[in-house]
Amino acid sequence: MKTMINFNKTTLLLLTLALAFACTNRKELFVDYSNPQIVYSGRIDSSKVKRVDLYWSGSSIKFNFEGESIAALIEDEKGDNYFNIIIDANDPFIFRPDTTKRYHQLASGLSKGRHSIEIFKRTEWDRGKTSFYGFQIEGNAKILPKSSLLKRKIEFYGNSITAGYAIEDLSGKDSPDSTYTNNYLSYAAITARHFDAKYQCICKSGIGITVSWHPLIMPEMYDRLIPTDSTSTWDFSLYKPDIVVVNLFQNDSWLINMPEYEEFKVRFGTEAPDEDEIIAAYQKFIANIRQKYPEAKIICSLGCMDATKEGSKWPGYIEKAVANLNDKAVYTHFMPYIEATAHPSIKDQETMANELINFIEKNIHW
């Protein structure tokens, strides 16, 4: 009996040592949102305690690490936002956080060595904010230095075309379901990745410069940190793009011909703006961008929907506004008109990206 007791004690000791060894080699690590090795892109609201809030299309979180799995502590305001998750630069997969603050496992079974993760916001700010608190790594967890900062910076101001609205709705019916919106495949994001440039996107479906399908116009929104808060101001010194691309006027081109529409009445009363007023409004907006970014190259673009169709006056309005500015660092570039019954498809967005990339390569040294 005495021998049996000694054997049990020995077994218990071995099991304890084995468990301790296993725990040592599978340590967990929480990486707080404020860790300096996390790289944020976009207008990120860091004013809250213990978290950051993401609103804008194309906002992203990047992080390098070692470990067998990684989870993110996230809470979504409405449960209607979608993100692309990119692990080790592989093809993205879709992630939809819910309204409960909890950990979401984003990768598991990872090999030893260095890994990277990117969380990229596909959807627009009208789907609500997403709050990010940090990462949880398991299995020989280690924080690695962030990748070299991208030297180039680009910023876009646009509407649904720039947002990538309904880009993945293959039925061509322009479904409003946020599942189908994907800013990652927009011409804007494609262009930024082509040039290996840091990316910032200020966009909203339906928005215009003089009038929108909703109460907000771009001159009222462009300088906000929180898009839904008129008192929230973005600090333009935090991000100084080399190139700014403005692709607006598509919605204006429709709405100034709709005097019965409520936003027409709000903005214009009973009489649509004349050409001089339209040109002046665009010119003022570009002048405001120039004031914020004295050194940037500004590309005034338009397309690829019917505002660039043959015979349209809207490219001419932009050309006149740019000529009035007399600024050699302000360019015009109009996307080719692509006849379609819905918003630009993935293929259309790729065509637009190629056009813009070629224009930049030919005209801008950065």
Residue 188 has pLDDT above 70, yes or no: yes
Q: What CATH topology corresponds to 152-363? A: Rossmann fold (3.40.50)
Residue 233 has pLDDT above 60, yes or no: yes
Q: How far apart are CA 154 and CA 132, in angstroms?
A: 24
Q: Are 138 and 67 in contact (CB under 8 A)?
A: yes
**Residue 323: its pLDDT value, please?**
98
Mean pLDDT over each residue of the chain, to the nearest integer: 93
For the chain, domain boundaries: 28-143, 152-363
CA distances from 126 to 41, 123, 176, 200, 203 (A): 19, 8, 12, 17, 11
Residue 4 has pLDDT above 50, yes or no: no
At 172, is the pLDDT very low, low, confident or very high (cuts 50, 70, 90)?
Answer: confident
Its pTM surpasses 0.85: yes
Q: How far apart are CA 85 and CA 119, in angstroms?
A: 5
Residue 5 has pLDDT above 70, yes or no: no
Residue 26 has pLDDT above 60, yes or no: no
At 122, is the pLDDT very low, low, confident or very high (cuts 50, 70, 90)?
Answer: very high
Q: Residue 352's closest CA among 120, 169, 152, 194?
A: 194
In degrees and rounded to multiples of 5, residue 17 shows phi and psi of -65, -40
At 50, is the pLDDT very low, low, confident or very high (cuts 50, 70, 90)?
Answer: very high
**Residue 16: its pLDDT value, please?**
40
What is the rounded end-to-end Cα distance, in angstroms, of the chain?
A: 83
Q: What is the DSSP letter of 110?
A: P
CA distances from 2 to 9, 11, 16, 273 (A): 11, 15, 21, 101
Question: Can you spell out the DSSP letters for 114-178?
Answer: EEEEEEEE-S-GGG--EEEEEEEEESS-EE-PPPPPPSEEEEEEESHHHHTTTTT-TTSS----G
Residue carrying structure tokens 């495949």: 185
Pick the CATH number of 28-143 from 3.40.50.2300, 2.60.120.1440, 1.10.1670.10, 2.60.120.260: 2.60.120.260
Residue 11 has pLDDT above 60, yes or no: no
